[in-house]
A and B are shown apart, each in its own frame.
Chain A
């Protein structure tokens, strides 16, 4: 079993839709949770960074962490074609500047 599981998609939604992306994990030592966006042939870009359980909102993006269920989510409101990318969840036991364990990424396409 992989430490981090993420549905690879692809996920196709119409413009303006609410998108829900999810990851599950098995390592209870993970305390720090991140969502990265990666465009084709580019490096990952940090979108959201959370510590422990709870919600965090930044513009159209909301990250949720449920440590009791070992489940994290990223919600994108009012999705735009420019949101089309691969979204990677990542986790760490000791902070985002340390070793990260990534999910496989979910490919998202937002269509006009």
Chain B
């Protein structure tokens, strides 16, 4: 299957700082990338959908000014958590879609905000 990487795999930051998470499709071109958040023992919740070169579409309740998404190319999307607070601590997972049927997930990034 296709490979999606995320960097960093984990990050610890102080409250009020911004954190950038990269998502790369290594061996395919992802026309659509998705960003999910997963709290412990809970399901993945879709945060936003982004298409290359256009603005991301955010799910209801997700603050677009807090979670900045950039999909600059068909192989790279970034999620920036601005002014992070402890309640933003979570497991962030991206996925890349190649078309209607398939979506490949990255290994996730664990964010801890102190």
Nearest CB to that of B106 among chain A residues?
A43
Contacting pair A97 B101 (CB below 8 A): yes
Evaluate whether A44 and B100 lie within 8 angstroms (CB atoms) in the complex, with A88-B44, A104-B42 already known. Answer: no
Top-9 shortest CB links A-B: A95-B100, A43-B105, A97-B97, A102-B43, A104-B43, A102-B44, A43-B107, A44-B105, A43-B108
Given A88-B43, A97-B103, A43 and B93 contact (CB-CB distance below 8 Å): yes
Q: 8 A-B residue contacts at CB 8 Å? A: A36-B105, A44-B44, A46-B1, A88-B43, A95-B100, A100-B46, A104-B42, A105-B43
Does B50 have its Cβ within 8 Å of any Cβ on chain A? no
A104 to B41, CA, bound (A): 8
Query: 19 additional contacts, CB 8 Å, given A32-B101, A46-B102, A100-B103?
Result: A36-B105, A43-B107, A44-B44, A45-B105, A46-B104, A49-B101, A94-B100, A95-B99, A96-B102, A97-B98, A97-B99, A97-B102, A98-B32, A99-B49, A100-B34, A101-B46, A102-B45, A105-B41, A107-B41
Q: How far is the CA of A94 from the CA of B99 in the complex (A)?
A: 11
Q: Which residues of B contact A107 (CB under 8 A)?
A: 41
Query: A41 in the interface, Cβ–Cβ < 8 Å?
Result: yes
Provide the main secondary structure of the chain B interface: strand
Q: Tell whether B110 is near chain A: CB-to-CB under 8 Å.
A: yes
Residue in chain A with minimal CB distance to B42: A104
Closest to B97 in A: A97
Chain A residues near B34 (CB-CB < 8 A): 99-100
Query: In chain B, residues 48-102, which have Cβ atoms closer than 8 Å to a Cβ of chain A?
Result: 49, 91, 93, 95, 97-102
